[in-house]
Structure 1
Amino acid sequence: MNRRRFLQGVAATALAAKGLGRAQNTPRPRVGLQLYTLRDLLGDRFKETLEQVAAMGYEGVEFAGVYGGLNPGELRRFLDGLGLETAGLHVPLEQLEQGLDGQVALARALGTPYLVCPWLDAGLRGSEARWRELFGRLERLGKACRAAGVRLVYHNHEFEFEEKVGGRPAFDALFAAAPSLEAELDVAWAHAGGQDPAAYVRKYAGRLPLVHLKDLKGRRTVELGRGEVPVEAAVRAAQASGVRWLLVEQDESARPLESVRASLEWLRSKKLV
């Protein structure tokens, strides 16, 4: 199941270490987990699963549309009891446009300033004209979010680097056209799109509060350090660039809890968190 279908499926039920390269006065990024990784466990074992995440040592979680049937106040109290913060909320573009007030209220209740647009359907892009229409939609949303006291953040896949607008990657064209927008760079998909993730972290310093840490072996997502993505270099760049959250994600795993534990242990072994 891909992220778009997963988010669409849950939308109806969703609640409306110091790094070597870090600048001396730059705060340490916190380490969290994108809960899409554990989506198959959250339906029946929501609380138990988050308890295990906290016990591993993760400092926060990023939601992908599943909130365990808890209202915002209940969920915030549960997270506080575990010592977990909310790093952000992934919300589909259409849901943001149609119900922004409710999403802003949820973000405030859970204590995060970040609403993340996680995907753009292929039918919405594919030509420069369509991309430019999307730029306008995202900039309007970004301005509305800022007026409400939160930030709109965009999460990439590889197509933003493969498709071009005005002769440059659509990713760069988007952020030039939408100054209110901030970035959540997925290092694996940037790599798959032919880019150097660390260079992009540095390029968007100041507009990059969130970074997804993911590794790939071919097209298959694997635990951090077991693939071909230069994750360590990207983390060291993030440590020097004011990134707020490093968020582990693995799209597919037969044993997702074991995978996210292994990824966190790898980060610790490299003294990255």
Structure 2
Amino acid sequence: MNPMNRRRFLRGVAATALAAKGLGRAQNTPRPRVGLQLYTLRDLLGDRFKETLEQVAAMGYKGVEFAGIYGGLSPTEVKGFLGRLGLEAAGLHVSLEQLEHDLDGQVALAHTLGAPYLVCPWIEPQLRGSETRWRGVFGRLERLGRACRSAGIQLAYHNHDFEFEEKIAGQPVFDALFASAPSLEVELDIAWAHAGGHDPAAYLRKYAGRTPLTHLKDLKGRQTVELGRGEVPVEAAVRAALSSGVRWLLVEQDDSPKPLESARLSLEWLRSRGFV
């Protein structure tokens, strides 16, 4: 999602204190399933949570990744509703602040929903910009990663472009982060990796076995578009994901005047390439 919008969105959403078995580094994993990151549908979920998820399931998506909206339902109710639709909870996006102040609640939510992964989706600008600041973030994420793993949940980190643009000792912050935080898994957003000047397929291969979740997103300039309609080498990235232990291919489009239609078109594009 757009970095500033993600920041505002996560601040404005109060996640309910609500997983499945914790999953470590994947090897010999089955073909990844295709899900939808629900930030794509954020403007619909508040008033039409159930109806919207019914449409997602009818399109053929196998799971969803939550971004803090649960339609006013209890965790148990959400879990039951997902089950009736045949959808799985692939993961939950939770801000660094929420993770540090309510880790027990977020872990409980993940367990109730059957979500193996909590994902930190964003680092505030004031925590970036220097090696000292970044090293502090690395330590915080590693501590959270160890705590999550002890509780049977895996913590992952979702990138934007700045982790590739900023450098520490000559290497992208992205690489320095995962070298410094061995308990942390990768959720590679292929569009932001591309926008940051790097080949997403190469990064999927580099972090094979450590990337259970991948965001499939396309860009035309800085505008997100349906898969296959932009400049990101999506097909090459998906092919790399298929051989890199990825468990979930998660479609996300930050902005669209017709988000359900965009979600449908992106899934149809994946079908047309034989990925679904």
Q: TM-score range by the shorter chain?
A: over 0.9
SS of the equivalent of 1:116 reads strand
Q: Which one of 31, 36, 60 corresponds to residue 63 of structure 2?
A: 60
The answer on 1:129 being equivalent to 2:132 is: yes
1:121 offset after TM fit, Å? 0.7
What does residue 104 of structure 2 align with? Answer: 101
1:26 offset after TM fit, Å? 4.2
Structure 2: distance between partners of 1:155 and 1:119: 7
What does residue 50 of structure 1 align with? Answer: 53
What does residue 27 of structure 1 align with? Answer: 30
Structure 2: distance between partners of 1:271 and 1:162: 33
Structure 2: tracts of 5 or more residues without a match: 18-27
1:61 offset after TM fit, Å? 0.2
1:151 offset after TM fit, Å? 0.6
The answer on 1:40 being equivalent to 2:40 is: no
Do the aligned residues in 2 keep the contact of 1:60 with 1:85 (CA within 8 Å)?
A: yes
The answer on 1:144 being equivalent to 2:147 is: yes
| Aligned-partner residue type, residue 7 of structure 1 | L
1:133 offset after TM fit, Å? 0.5
Q: Which one of 241, 253, 257 corresponds to residue 254 of structure 1?
A: 257
Do the aligned residues in 1 keep the contact of 2:29 with 2:247 (CA within 8 Å)?
A: no
Normalised by the size of structure 1, how large is the TM-score? 0.95
SS of the equivalent of 2:13 reads helix
| Aligned-partner residue type, residue 193 of structure 2 | A
Do the aligned residues in 1 keep the contact of 2:194 with 2:200 (CA within 8 Å)?
A: yes
Q: Encode CA deviations 1:158-204: one digit per residue, 9 max, x unaligned.
A: 00000001210000000000000001000000000000000000000
Q: Encode CA deviations 1:51-102: one digit per residue, 9 max, x unaligned.
A: 0000000000000000111111111000000000000000000100000001
What does residue 22 of structure 1 align with? Answer: none
User: Number of residue pairs matched?
Assistant: 263
1:147 offset after TM fit, Å? 0.7
1:245 offset after TM fit, Å? 0.1
Structure 1: tracts of 5 or more residues without a match: 17-24
- Hey, which bits of structure 1, 4+ residues long, moved more than 2 A? none
What does residue 21 of structure 1 align with? Answer: none
Structure 1: distance between partners of 2:55 and 2:16: 23
The answer on 1:15 being equivalent to 2:26 is: no
Do the aligned residues in 2 keep the contact of 1:26 with 1:240 (CA within 8 Å)?
A: no
SS of the equivalent of 2:104 reads helix
SS of the equivalent of 1:229 reads coil
What does residue 19 of structure 1 align with? Answer: none
Change beyond 3 A, Cα 1:219–1:139? same
SS of the equivalent of 1:263 reads helix
SS of the equivalent of 1:2 reads helix
What does residue 25 of structure 2 align with? Answer: none
SS of the equivalent of 1:89 reads strand
CA RMSD of aligned residues (A): 0.8
Structure 1: distance between partners of 2:120 and 2:64: 16
What does residue 92 of structure 1 align with? Answer: 95
Percent of matched pairs sharing the same residue: 80
Structure 1: distance between partners of 2:29 and 2:209: 12
